[in-house]
Amino acid sequence: MKNTGDIIGAFLIGVAVGTIIGILYAPQSGEETRKLISEKSQKAKEEISEQVEKLKEEFDKLKKQVSKVTSEITEKISQQFEKKVEAKNE
């Protein structure tokens, strides 16, 4: 999970840096450049928010899976323990 987040983060940083460099070297007036930077920044913010939401959803799914597996393992251990106690008492 951490690797996925790192990859997404690095990708988004690369996109942001590339966009800014492209905008700064484009032949436009200062006002147009500022407007374009503002628009691109807003779009990047929205994309980051979407990625964060996706990561949260994936984390929640993983958390539920871990909880389910933990419950199953706990139940199996409990059953095995009860069998051992019963066998010892017989």
Task: Encode pLDDT of 24-47 as tens digits.
Answer: 777 777 788 788 878 888 888 888
pLDDT band at residue 14 using 50, 70 and 90 as cut-offs: confident
Indicate the number of domains in the chain.
1
- The string of pLDDT tens digits covering residues 35-88 is 887 888 888 888 888 888 888 899 999 999 999 999 999 999 999 999 888 888
Domain span holding position 70: 2-89
**DSSP per residue, the chain:** -HHHHHHHHHHHHHHHHHHHHHHHHSS--HHHHHHHHHHHHHHHHHHHHHHHHHHHHHHHHHHHHHHHHHHHHHHHHHHHHHHHHHHHH-
